[in-house]
Amino acid sequence: DTGVSQDPRHKITKRGQNVTFRCDPISEHNRLYWYRQTLGQGPEFLTYFQNEAQLEKSRLLSDRFSAERPKGSFSTLEIQRTEQGDSAMYLCASSLRQSQETQYFGPGTRLLVL
């Protein structure tokens, strides 16, 4: 059973450019979460999918951010018109909806906006 994977692992971009990250969850997991982690801090929740439906979004998710999970499989997180403050690690986690939910994290995508 493969774990959660994310691509790319590192991304350097110039301010104003658009970037897209991909997350592939554990195959049978129907729940998917995106978190953002800035240097020296704990991760913060961004958004949540159950299957293909995006059911919750944090106030941290500005209108420059959009996430999708077509067909309830992989997910993408796009940031438009990147700003230097978007520099962070973007983490994806997946879980199986059940009474004892445990989230399994991917390796993250580290974004640097110059």
Partner 1 sequence: AQTVTQSQPEMSVQEAETVTLSCTYDTSENNYYLFWYKQPPSRQMILVIRQEAYKQQNATENRFSVNFQKAAKSFSLKISDSQLGDTAMYFCAFMKLRNNNAGNMLTFGGGTRLMVKP
Residue 18 touches partner 1, criterion: CB under 8 A: no
Residue 55 touches partner 1, criterion: CB under 8 A: yes
Q: Are 8 and 108 in contact (CB under 8 A)?
A: no
Residue 40 touches partner 1, criterion: CB under 8 A: yes
Q: Are 96 and 28 in contact (CB under 8 A)?
A: yes
Whose Cβ is closer to partner 1: residue 44's or residue 78's? 44
Q: Are 108 and 6 in contact (CB under 8 A)?
A: yes
Binding mask 77-96 for partner 1 (x = CB under 8 A): --------------x-x-x-
Task: Classify strands 10-13 and 109-113 as parallel, antiparallel or unpaired.
Answer: parallel
Whose Cβ is closer to partner 1: residue 25's or residue 43's? 43
Whose Cβ is closer to partner 1: residue 25's or residue 106's? 106
Residue 8: asked if its preceding bond is cis (omega within 30°), the reply is yes
Q: Which of 24, 25, 35, 69 binds partner 1 (CB under 8 A)?
A: 35
Per-residue tokens: 104: 């399994």
Binding site for partner 1 (CB under 8 A): 3, 31, 33, 35, 40-45, 48, 50, 53, 55-56, 91, 93, 95, 100-108
